[in-house]
Structure 1
Amino acid sequence: MTTQERSAAIVGATGGAGATRLTVELAATLARDGRSVAVFDASFATQGLSHYVHGRIDIDVTRLLTDDSVHQRAAMIDLGLDTPAPVVVCPAYASLERFARAKSGEAADRFGEIIRRATESYDHVLVDTPPVADNPSIAAVNAADRVAVVVPPSKRGVDTLRRTEDRLADIGAGADRVLANRVEDLDEHPVESVDVAIPRSEVTDVAGSPVCVTGETGPFAQTVATAAEAVFNTQLGIEFPRGGLRERLASRF
């Protein structure tokens, strides 16, 4: 891993692709390897990241972007995961009025700077990013060192990936990795350009997530670990059973 590959925008190619859950699982996996992780929410409309926070959210990402008196560290919430290193998140959780102000060009510039600055305090920074269509999502993509696009494993995934790649090209960016999410058959899906195919997790509710914490060795955790390695061009020191799915997936890189 180089110092240039510490942040990543995890872009959902379409609504319902599961990018938020996957972002949290990637963060937990990196923290399981002893790497501190900060996760920012660029999906202001859905507020999906806030569902993983147990307790009050006094300062959210939109306030961080619109209130000069708020320091970045004050906006970070520790998820308290069973991992050697922490995962802290800055979710979106505010009124529509503040969402609108946080989507301005000025706020987007500040968002990009916050993402870049966060890499000085954390080993990795992930940004839960919606389909690229507004200032926060564009800021996330432009500020991140890497871009990973999350697609459903279907013909719809093929179509939305093509549209996402076109939008990324419009802003001078590209997809470094493509992750097919919630795949039923890891060897059979229509998204030919996928880098890592991630199976459905047996845990589907937010209350039981993330599952990729210390001690988890199932197929889902193994493929998320491979995805984390692929996104950041790095190697993790997490122990998994030998001779199984993990080796087959890792051999692709």
Structure 2
Amino acid sequence: MIRTLALVGVAGGVGTTRTAVECAAILALDGRDVAVLDAAYATQGLSEYLPGRVDPDLTDLCLHPERPLADGLHDLEIDAPDRTAGVDSPDRLAAADAPGRVALAPALAPFERLARAKTVEAAESFEDRVAEAAAGFDCVLVDVPPVAANQHVAAVNAVDRVGLVVPGSERGADARRRTADRLRDVGVDPDRTLSVGTDLPAAAATVPTVDAAPAEGPQCPRDGDLAAATAAAVESLFDVELDLEFDDGNGLDRIREGIGGLGR
């Protein structure tokens, strides 16, 4: 099983942060503890999933390596339906609870600290934070925007696997090729592609677009189609078979057959 994974968006706004959160939620529903680290310093979208203040954030931790990663981790509530109470919609995931944990390490910093967090030294500290997370969690996901800064390079070099998040369109296919070439320039060969919205021939799996606001949290426990598609994506991304049950009509087996097992 792959334990550390960077999801790299091939362009801004393709849904990389949302995809990382939904994948983490599925892993937690399967009983795994998951850390999600934020390398998208410019947009800081991971922080939008958390209410209130984020202090310290991940940039602060990378600038102060003496502090433990635990200081900047924030648990994300996973609203899993209770099967014993009855599932109120045939499209919902059938799970008694979320036995695993999702902990977010978001970036939420003023411009001055963001600039300092992009130095080579801080990027090296980012790699250490990935390793620290891997030591304490079953799985680690890193949310990475189009690679253009030191912390992005550090993120993709610190993980076991890099997956590309791509819109299912001709534009997405072109952006995928450009991003893959850029990653190879920094010594990384992305070996999984995940398309969002519509199928892309090169993708290992496809997940639906999610319209919910980040404050509404992960949508997989509320949406069986999204959950089944995301579970199939997680199986491909992490080389793992999940032990999850879905209501009739939302078969993970059906999606597994559709993508033909693990793909690129």
- Note whether the superposition's TM-score is higher than 0.5: yes
Aligned twin of 1:195: 204
User: What do the CA deviations read for 1:142-200 (whole angstroms, capped 9, x no partner)?
Assistant: 001111100111111011100011011111111121000122xxxxx4x3211101122
* 1:230-249 equivalence runs, <5 A: 230-241=236-247, 245-249=251-255
Corresponding position of 2:225? 219
Query: Displacement, 1:208?
Result: 2.1
Q: 3-state DSSP class of the match of 1:108? A: helix
Question: Deviation above 6 Å: which 4+ runs of structure 1?
Answer: none
| Worse overlay, 65-74 or 53-62 | 65-74
In the alignment, the residues of structure 2 paired with residue 8 and residue 21 of structure 1 have an alpha-carbon distance, to the nearest angstrom, of: 15
Structure 2 partner of 1:147: 162
Question: Which stretch has the larger CA shift, 224-233 or 174-183?
Answer: 174-183
Match for residue 186 of structure 1? none
Cα RMSD for the two superposed structures? 1.4
What does residue 50 of structure 1 align with? Answer: 47
Unpaired runs of at least 5, structure 1: 184-188
Q: Aligned to 1:120, what secondary structure does the other structure show?
A: helix
What is the distance in 2 between the residues matched to 1:85 and 1:193? 31
- 1:111 counterpart residue number: 126
After the TM superposition, which residues 21-100 of structure 1 pair with which residues of structure 2 at under 5 Å, given as runs?
21-82=18-79, 83-100=98-115
AA aligned to 1:48 is G
1:217 and 1:57 map into 2 onto residues whose CA distance is 29
- Residue 127 of structure 1 corresponds to 142
TM-score (norm 1): 0.91
When structure 1 is superposed on structure 2, of 240-249 and 50-59 the one drifting more is 240-249
Shift of 1:246: 2.2
The whole-number CA distance in structure 2 between the counterparts of 1:156 and 1:9 is 22
Q: Which residue of 2 aligns with 1:158?
A: 173
Tell me how far apart the structure 2 counterparts of residues 7 and 194 of structure 1 sit (CA, whole Å): 20
1:174 to 172, 178, 189: 189
How far apart, CA to CA, are the structure 1 residues paired with 2:215 and 2:149?
30
CA offsets 1:55-81 (integer angstroms, 9 cap, x no match)? 221110100001234221111111132
Which position in structure 1 is the counterpart of 2:92? none
Deviation at 1:53, TM superposition (A): 0.6
Structure 2 SS opposite 1:127:
strand
Report the Cα distance in structure 2 between the residues aligned to 1:123 and 1:244, rounded to whole angstroms: 26
Residues 1:204 and 2:201 are matched in the alignment:
no
Once residues 212 and 49 of structure 1 are traced to their aligned partners in structure 2, the CA distance between those partners, rounded to angstroms, is 17
Alpha-carbon contact 1:217-1:240 (below 8 Å) kept: no
Cα deviation for residue 243 of structure 1 reads 6.6
The amino acid of 2:27's aligned partner reads L
1:18 equivalent in alignment to 2:27: no
Deviating more after overlay: 238-247 vs 82-91: 238-247
**% identity of equivalent residues:** 44
Aligned residue identity for 2:156: V
* Residues 51, 215 of structure 2: 8 Å contact kept: no
The answer (yes or no) to whether the contact 2:225–2:250 under 8 Å persists in 1 is no
Per-residue displacement from partner, 1:34-71 (whole Å, max 9, x unpaired)? 00000000000001000001122111010000123422
